[in-house]
Amino acid sequence: MDGDRDQNAIPCDGCIECCKSEQVILRPEAGDDLSTFDFEYIESALYPGRKVPALKRDPQTGNCVYLMADGCAIHGRAPAICRRFHCARTFKALGRLSRAQRDRLWARGDVLEEAIVERGRDRHRLAKALGLDNVLDTDMQVAAFEALAAAPRRR
């Protein structure tokens, strides 16, 4: 970390791509209290072979049920993934993989979301311009991507 500067200093500038994701997964081990969220159990490539809790989605829009016209209705108590995830990190982590690994991740179809990766390209460029590239620790994400690239997709 660079002093008290962290990834939150890399602005989203009104983007809501994360809130359109199909997989806003809740993690009690990271402090998420399931009793305080509207959620359902879903399958996820990140947790093969079991179902995991994730925020429900609006059936009309497909967006997170907490996404309102003026932003997140539970800002301040949003799940850990909403506070931890940053597309700039995802993009940077992808850059540490081999071309073959990236191709396998895209081919799986259940790991990468194109809009978020594209937004990550833009936000990573901004992070570098702001001198914040070094706050994006990618080791855990690279390890997860490498494992997923090596594993066949479960049908």
Measured distance CA(92)–CA(20) in Å, rounded? 21
Stretch that binds ligand SF4, among 44-52, 75-83, 92-100, 139-147 (CB under 6 A): 75-83
Kindly state whether residue 89 participates in binding ligand SF4, applying the rule CB under 6 A.
no
Choose which of 26, 55, 105, 132 interacts with ligand SF4 (CB under 6 A): 55
Kindly state whether residue 67 participates in binding ligand SF4, applying the rule CB under 6 A.
yes
Kindly state whether residue 26 participates in binding ligand SF4, applying the rule CB under 6 A.
no
Choose which of 25, 54, 78, 105 interacts with ligand SF4 (CB under 6 A): 78
Measured distance CA(139)–CA(73) in Å, rounded? 31
User: Residue 68's beta-bridge partner residues?
Assistant: 71
To the nearest whole angstrom, how small is the minimum distance from the Cβ of residue 92 to ligand SF4?
A: 12
Kindly state whether residue 126 participates in binding ligand SF4, applying the rule CB under 6 A.
no
Kindly state whether residue 94 participates in binding ligand SF4, applying the rule CB under 6 A.
no
Write the CB contacts of 136 (distance below 8 Å, at least 6 apart in sequence). Answer: 7, 10, 86, 88, 89, 92, 124, 127
Nearer to ligand SF4, 38 or 151 (CB): 38
Measured distance CA(41)–CA(20) in Å, rounded? 17
Measured distance CA(2)–CA(132) in Å, rounded? 8
